[in-house]
Amino acid sequence: MSAARLLILGGTAEARALAQALTDADVPVVSSLAGRVARPRLPVGEVRIGGFGGPGALARWLGDQDIGAVIDATHPFAERISASAVAATADAGVPLLRLERPGWEASGEDRWHWVDDLPAAATAIRELGARRVLLTSGRQGLAAFAQDDVTWFLIRCVDPPDVALPARHEVLLDRGPYTLEGELALIDAHDIQLIVTKDSGGPLTEAKLAAARARGLPVVVVRRPPRQDVPTVRTVDEAVAWATTVASRAA
Ligand code: NAP
């Protein structure tokens, strides 16, 4: 991979940290973002924005751009781009690593209810009898809650939602990182009875879990989707070690 660049599939804090660490280690990188967020936090170095057009197009792009390795550092719930990366790197004969932060783990006092997807989260809210819910599962998938005209939702997301929303709601545009104090104030100000979250993992958005624990609130946690079997690391340091080994092998 002497002159070849490494592609980081990004959109996460880890992907930005990885771009910085590899740039510092003189490994040339290009970061790719989906373009979902209006004002994304940009990584250092070269950045491209927008979908590739599916796995075949990504495979061609890898060849055209002389990409020597790919690190998929996308969000744990971004399923399609990860599947695309697996197919495209196999097709192009380019090594692939998955960088995925660990999921969250409940502690003794937590009242977590695990569900498989957002429709199941909508069902769980009704079963648990909560009437005022903080919804932190992101802008995509909000349609799963649109039929609930009983519950009041505080919908927190980065950009304004563009799908049907439940009858009773307020939208709060925010992107974190969040603090325990801030989350407690939000819960108290809106008389929140339950929180819905994806198992995103990581420190930037975990304060809501500590806040729920402190207030004794139930949390509906959406499980991560299943993934294909790909070499995977949990930390940026491990991903840097892999990238520098791949780069030195190819030099
Ligand atoms: P997705 O369902 O896996 O991807 C949908 C399509 O968007 C992909 O097929 C691909 O288009 C394009 N795409 C996604 N990530 C891309 C990237 N890094 N670079 C270039 N194209 C990309 O993903 P998603 O759930 O919509 O998430 C989009 C982005 O937001 C991801 O990069 C992810 O890291 C970030 N993110 C997602 C979540 C979440 O909860 N899902 C949360 C925080 C951040 P083509 O097929 O045309 O190539």
pLDDT in tens, 37-90: 889 999 999 999 999 999 999 999 999 999 999 999 999 999 999 999 999 999
Question: Which atom of ligand 1 is least distant from the CA of 53?
Answer: 47
Question: Which atom of ligand 1 is least distant from the CA of 37?
Answer: 30
Q: Which of 12, 42, 58, 81 to mutate to test the pocket of ligand 1 (most atoms within 8 A of CB)?
A: 81
Mean pLDDT over 99-127 rounds to: 97
Is 60 exceeded by the pLDDT of residue 245?
yes
Question: Which atom of ligand 1 is least distant from the CA of 58?
Answer: 48
Residues with CB under 6 A from ligand 1: 9-12, 32-34, 36, 51-54, 58, 74-75, 77-81, 84, 138, 198
Mean pLDDT over 163-180 rounds to: 96
Decide: 201 and 53 in contact? Cβ < 8 Å: no
Strands 96-99 and 67-72: parallel
User: Which protein residue's CA is at the shortest distance from atom 35 of ligand 1?
Assistant: 11
Question: H helices within the chain, ranges in order?
Answer: 13-24, 55-64, 79-92, 118-128, 180-189, 207-215, 236-250
Cα–ligand 1 centroid distance for 142 (angstroms): 17
Mean pLDDT over 232-245 rounds to: 97
Distance in Å from the first CA to the final CA of the chain:
6
Cα–ligand 1 centroid distance for 74 (angstroms): 7
pTM for the model: 0.95
| pLDDT tens sequence across 22-36 | 999 999 999 999 998
Is 80 exceeded by the pLDDT of residue 161?
yes
Q: What pLDDT, on a 0 to 100 scale, did the predictor assign at position 205?
A: 96
Cα–ligand 1 centroid distance for 97 (angstroms): 17
Q: Mean pLDDT over all residues of the chain?
A: 96
pLDDT band at 172 (very low <50, low <70, confident <90, very high): very high
Decide: 8 and 31 in contact? Cβ < 8 Å: yes
Q: What pLDDT, on a 0 to 100 scale, did the predictor assign at position 3?
A: 60
Q: What 3 state SS string does 170-232 have? A: EEEECCCCCCHHHHHHHHHHCCCCEEEEECCCCCCCCHHHHHHHHHCCEEEEECCCCCCCCCE
pLDDT band at 1 (very low <50, low <70, confident <90, very high): very low
At 221, give phi and psi (nearest 5°): -110, 120
Is 80 exceeded by the pLDDT of residue 112?
yes
Mean pLDDT over 146-174 rounds to: 97
User: Which protein residue's CA is at the shortest distance from atom 39 of ligand 1?
Assistant: 77
Mean pLDDT over 106-114 rounds to: 95
At 5, give phi and psi (nearest 5°): -100, 160
Cα–ligand 1 centroid distance for 69 (angstroms): 19
Is 60 exceeded by the pLDDT of residue 133?
yes
Q: What pLDDT, on a 0 to 100 scale, did the predictor assign at position 4?
A: 86
Question: Which atom of ligand 1 is least distant from the CA of 15?
Answer: 34
Q: What pLDDT, on a 0 to 100 scale, did the predictor assign at position 204?
A: 94
Question: Which atom of ligand 1 is least distant from the CA of 198?
Answer: 40
DSSP 7: E
- Fill in the amino acid letter for 221: V
* For the chain, percent of residues with pLDDT exceeding 70: 98
